[in-house]
Copies of this chain bind each other. A is one copy, B any other.
Amino acid sequence: MTEPKKRLVELGQELAKDIEKGKQPKLDVPVRALSNVQYNERTKTLELGKKSAERIFFNVGHVKKFVQTLEVAKVSKQLLDLGKHASLRDVFYMAKRTIPGSNINIVDEQTESDKAIEDLELITEFSREQLNINANKNGSVAGQVIIEDKGDAIDWSKLGSGGWSIPSNVEEIKFKKVSADYVIYMEKAAVWERLHEDKYWDKHKCIILTSQGQTTRGIRRLLQRLNQEHKLPVYVLCDFDAYGFYIYSVLKFGSINLAHISESQAIPSAKFLGITADDIEKYGLSKHLIKMKDVDIARLKQISEYDWFKNNKAWQRQFKLMKQYGAKAEIQALSARGITFISEKYLPEKIKAKDWLD
């Protein structure tokens, strides 16, 4: 029996024992709230504090969440038994059954099953992916890497213009050969296609990896595995804007919502290689600044006050300069200097000079 399945069986047995002994069944669930999230100076990641709360079956205020948590545990156990994975949406539908003899559904909205799954992660200390529950897949990767996945040997350097499509769950991937000095993660698929067409990963012996929009858990975990298991530095190539800073912050330190899984997600050594205020002067991008909107200004303020940024002089300087500019700048503004400027000049120069933010 795999470890996650064993833990789920134990959980059920503990509850059954309580019931047999006439005790009231309850779950002990660590509190997931900002009040219980802290930045650990030593590990340099966000982590959950020690506060936890009891969830009691014979309590009108607790019973719904208690049952929901057990229901998703049941679904997860079924999936593990079958060797199948389900999406969060699938789990919602699988858990949405009507309690016999009533007209009450166990869950009515996906947010309920999602929260129950997060609680289950906390209770079992296994990630959702280990419990065979996936989020959406997204993203592409290329580089001199050979992996094994589902019995296939996959060479990331021989996949034409498309690259390998990153699955939602990367737990079972085996790295067979990793011939790279670093990884560049970029937030934009178009920038990835730029570097891929220029064979940047081949010329500079690295791995290029992208999502489009939000960084999925699958991508974060894949980056972390390359970083931890293969000691590859991870460089984050983002726009000079609050959203780009946030993407970097989540990759490096973890996120407040998912502080309980920082350990399997955060990459404390990641560097910000994206556009900086200094790049705007150095690479002649001042014509291409985009005026900040109120929402950008508010987001910038929020980020600059994060525990992990507030004593970081280099970052505070960037935040201040952005405020002075009143403007942001995109990676793709580099294209104004020539379509291959990013591959031939910007990136090699910055990486050679270690011109990144930490």
Contact = CB atoms under 8 A, between A and B. Distances in A.
Given A189-B136, A336-B97, A160 B168 contact: no
Tell me what chain A mostly uses at the interface: helix, strand, loop, or mixed.
mixed
A57 interface: no
A162 B190 contact: no
A68 interface: no
A349 interface: no
A27 to B, nearest CB: 25
A60 interface: no
A151 B173 CA distance: 26
A70 interface: no
A92 B78 CA distance: 51
Interface stretch (A40-48, A79-87, A263-271, A316-324): A79-87
A149 B161 contact: yes
B335 A190 contact: no
B160 A287 contact: no
B137 A162 contact: yes
A24 interface: no
A112 to B, nearest CB: 15
B335 A90 contact: yes
Interface in A140-157: 140-141, 147-154
Interface string A254-295: 000000000000000000000000000000000110000000
Contact of A152 (B91, B148, B158): B158
A159 B163 contact: no
Contact of A87 (B150, B167, B332, B334): B332
Nearest to A333: B93
Contacts of A197: 84-85
A25 B152 CA distance: 58
A152 to B, nearest CB: 5
A79 B148 CA distance: 37
A165 interface: yes
User: Lowest 6 A-B CB distances belong to which pairs?
Assistant: A149-B160, A87-B190, A165-B165, A140-B165, A90-B335, A161-B167
10 contacts: A84-B198, A90-B335, A90-B339, A93-B332, A93-B334, A94-B339, A96-B287, A137-B162, A161-B172, A163-B167
Interface of A: 78-79, 82, 84-94, 96-98, 134, 136-141, 147-154, 158-169, 172-173, 189-190, 192-194, 197-198, 212, 287-288, 330, 332-336, 339-340
Given A137-B212, A147-B160, A152-B159, 16 more contacts: A82-B339, A84-B340, A85-B197, A88-B190, A93-B330, A93-B332, A93-B334, A136-B212, A139-B165, A154-B159, A161-B167, A163-B165, A164-B165, A165-B165, A165-B166, A168-B190
